[in-house]
């Protein structure tokens, strides 16, 4: 079965190497950056294509040569690629996390007989799947809280942060207004608001803040109170808010000495080298999901916890593992025929099918990624 991965960054690299170990797949990676492609092992049996992935016609022509596609492009390129693959009539698993509404492509996907599974990462991704799984076992849900963070193992001043995925998407998290549900109503607040502190035995105290991570869950899960927060080491938010409120993330050009420049471009040029994961850097992914509801006249709480660390043997970041291996397990799920429905779907739909959840759990556990579940009566 031929699979092409669009985007050969850190997560794309991890996904390609994982699928290449499976004899049922022939793997290709496409990227317009030959430097990224040069990082792939020469003996990995992975085909590499250097190509512009923005041109719609070229992209559609490329993906028609494959059975399945993984979209691992940055968010600002994600929706166009998602639409082009569906137009080409090829099944797709997406981790681009684009801001557009994917369900506007539902009719196109059904008409072209495509299974389009989006947001198949860690959060969004496994957070959605686990919520869908809990929802399938409860009669009603009253409260959902999702906390997730990708962090460097070693804290270094001033930001105590490393970008474990596309840095421009990190800045998007800090600027896009955060939507959540309170008493059945959608509430919108600035990103970085709603700060609180959570303790984890493995990593200590973390600072959680509002981000726009619920995405499809706002439409697909019936629950009056639902919120998603990103976590960083304490003190990070104050520094990012200072940059944002001063205008460092603005996209309107400023003229300085006759030269026009977007503040965001300057900020990115300064921040990204500081946030870059360098050789020897290690990361940790932390997630906690709390779901409360009722079943058989009892109040039930499901809690899922994840603490995953950098793989020192494969030299794979935890974020690449937890994001990428979720996507590769969804590819295997499609290949195994466990999901045959056509249209656009997010992971909470997979979570409603026990056999899909167990299939993904088993594959992740084989790769050393464990989601601990606890169920209590409250």
pLDDT of residue 62: 96
Angle at 321 between CA 303 and CA 249, to 5 degrees: 85
Give residue-wise pLDDT tens across range 76-134: 899 999 999 999 999 999 999 888 999 999 999 999 999 999 999 999 999 999 999 99
Domain co-membership, 62 together with 95: yes
pLDDT of residue 163: 85
Domain count of the fold of the chain: 2
Domain CATH code at residue 345: 3.40.50.720
Domain co-membership, 114 together with 130: no
Give residue-wise pLDDT tens across range 264-306: 999 999 999 999 888 889 999 999 999 999 999 999 999 999 9
Which helix (H) or strand (E) segment holds residue 36: the answer is helix 34-37
Nearest to 322 by CA among 272, 360, 355, 289: 360
How far apart CA 157 and CA 135 sit, in angstroms, is 41
Domain co-membership, 140 together with 172: yes
Helix-helix angle 318-335:354-366, to 10 degrees: 130
What are phi and psi for residue 294, nearest 5 degrees? -125, 145
Domain co-membership, 137 together with 155: yes
How far apart CA 244 and CA 74 sit, in angstroms, is 21
Rg (CA), the chain: 20
Domain CATH code at residue 295: 3.30.360.10
Strand, coil or helix: 111: helix
Domain co-membership, 137 together with 116: no
75: pLDDT strictly greater than 90: no
Domain co-membership, 53 together with 178: no
Give residue-wise pLDDT tens across range 205-248: 999 999 999 999 999 999 999 999 999 999 999 999 999 999 99
What are phi and psi for residue 230, nearest 5 degrees? -95, 150
How far apart CA 310 and CA 298 sit, in angstroms, is 40
Domain extent for 108: 2-122+318-368
* Entry field: residues in the chain: 378
Percent of the chain with pLDDT over 90: 88
Which of 39-43, 186-190, 218-222, 308-312 is predicted least confidently? 39-43
Mean pLDDT, residues 7-26 taken together: 94
Which of 40-44, 155-159, 364-368 is predicted least confidently? 40-44
Question: How much is the mean pLDDT over the chain?
Answer: 94
pLDDT of residue 239: 96
How far apart CA 5 and CA 345 sit, in angstroms, is 19
pLDDT of residue 165: 67
pLDDT of residue 368: 97
Domain annotation covers residue 374: no
140: pLDDT strictly greater than 90: yes
Domain co-membership, 303 together with 324: no
pTM for this prediction: 0.92
Domain annotation covers residue 14: yes
Check residue 304 and give left, alpha or beta (phi > 0: left; psi -120 to 50: alpha). beta
How far apart CA 375 and CA 177 sit, in angstroms, is 33
370: pLDDT strictly greater than 80: yes
63: pLDDT strictly greater than 80: yes
Domain co-membership, 167 together with 183: yes
pLDDT of residue 91: 98
* Residue located via tokens 């004899």: 23
Which helix (H) or strand (E) segment holds residue 149: the answer is strand 140-152
How far apart CA 238 and CA 192 sit, in angstroms, is 9
| Contact predicate 153/309, CB 8 Å | yes
Residue that terminates a domain, selected from 309, 328, 349: 309
How far apart CA 296 and CA 53 sit, in angstroms, is 51
Domain annotation covers residue 18: yes
Domain co-membership, 181 together with 288: yes
Residue that terminates a domain, selected from 279, 309, 339: 309
Domain annotation covers residue 167: yes
Domain annotation covers residue 244: yes
Q: Where are the alpha helices (DSSP H) in 260-317?
A: 263-275
Which helix (H) or strand (E) segment holds residue 109: the answer is helix 106-111
Helix-helix angle 167-175:236-246, to 10 degrees: 80
Residue that terminates a domain, selected from 309, 337, 358: 309
What is the distance, to the nearest Å, from the Cα of residue 144 to the centroid of all Cα atoms in its chain?
Answer: 19
Which helix (H) or strand (E) segment holds residue 56: the answer is helix 56-63
Domain co-membership, 341 together with 250: no
Check residue 147 and give left, alpha or beta (phi > 0: left; psi -120 to 50: alpha). beta
Domain annotation covers residue 265: yes
pLDDT of residue 36: 86
Domain annotation covers residue 376: no
Q: Where are the alpha helices (DSSP H) in 233-353?
A: 236-246, 263-275, 318-335, 347-351
Domain co-membership, 112 together with 136: no
Domain co-membership, 12 together with 94: yes
Mean pLDDT, residues 48-60 taken together: 93
Give residue-wise pLDDT tens across range 337-355: 999 999 999 999 999 999 9
Q: How many CB atoms lie within 10 A of CB 124?
A: 24
How far apart CA 340 and CA 139 sit, in angstroms, is 26
Nearest to 287 by CA among 96, 120, 121, 127: 127
| Contact predicate 16/40, CB 8 Å | yes
Domain annotation covers residue 173: yes
pLDDT of residue 42: 80
């Amino acid at each position: 079965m031929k699979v092409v991965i669009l985007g050969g960054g850190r997560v794309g690299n991890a996904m390609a190497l994982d699928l290449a170990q499976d004899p049922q797949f022939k793997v290709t990676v496409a990227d317009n950056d030959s430097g990224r492609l040069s990082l792939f092992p020469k003996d990995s049996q992975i085909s590499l294509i250097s190509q512009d992935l923005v041109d719609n016609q070229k992209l559609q022509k490329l993906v028609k040569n494959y059975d399945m596609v993984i979209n691992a492009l940055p968010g600002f390129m994600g929706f166009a690629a998602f639409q082009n693959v569906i137009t080409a009539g090829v099944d797709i698993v997406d981790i681009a996390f684009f801001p557009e509404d994917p369900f506007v492509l539902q009719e196109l996907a059904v008409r072209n007989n495509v299974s389009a599974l989006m947001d198949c990462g860690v959060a969004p991704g496994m957070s959605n799947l686990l919520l869908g799984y809990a929802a399938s076992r409860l009669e009603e849900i009253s409260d959902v809280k999702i906390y997730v963070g990708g962090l460097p193992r070693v804290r270094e001043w001033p930001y105590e942060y490393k970008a474990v995925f596309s840095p421009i998407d990190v800045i998007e998290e800090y600027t896009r207004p955060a939507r959540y549900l309170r008493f059945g109503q959608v509430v919108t607040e600035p990103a970085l608001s709603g700060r609180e502190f959570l303790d984890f035995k493995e990593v200590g105290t973390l600072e959680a803040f509002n981000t726009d991570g619920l995405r499809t869950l706002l439409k697909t899960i019936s629950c009056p109170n639902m919120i998603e927060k990103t976590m960083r080491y304490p003190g990070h938010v104050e520094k990012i808010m200072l940059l944002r409120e001063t205008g460092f993330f603005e996209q309107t050009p400023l003229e300085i000495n006759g030269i026009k420049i977007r503040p965001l471009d300057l900020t990115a040029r300064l921040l990204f080298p500081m946030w870059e994961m360098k050789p020897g850097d290690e990361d940790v992914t932390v997630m906690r999901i709390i779901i409360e509801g009722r079943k058989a006249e009892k109040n039930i709480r499901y809690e899922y916890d994840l603490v995953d660390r950098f793989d020192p043997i494969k030299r794979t970041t935890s974020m690449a593992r937890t994001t990428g291996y979720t996507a590769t397990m969804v590819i295997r799920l499609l290949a195994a025929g466990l999901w045959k429905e056509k249209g656009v779907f997010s992971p909470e739909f997979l979570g409603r099918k026990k056999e899909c959840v167990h299939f993904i759990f088993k594959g992740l556990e084989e790769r050393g990624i464990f989601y601990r579940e606890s169920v209590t009566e409250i």
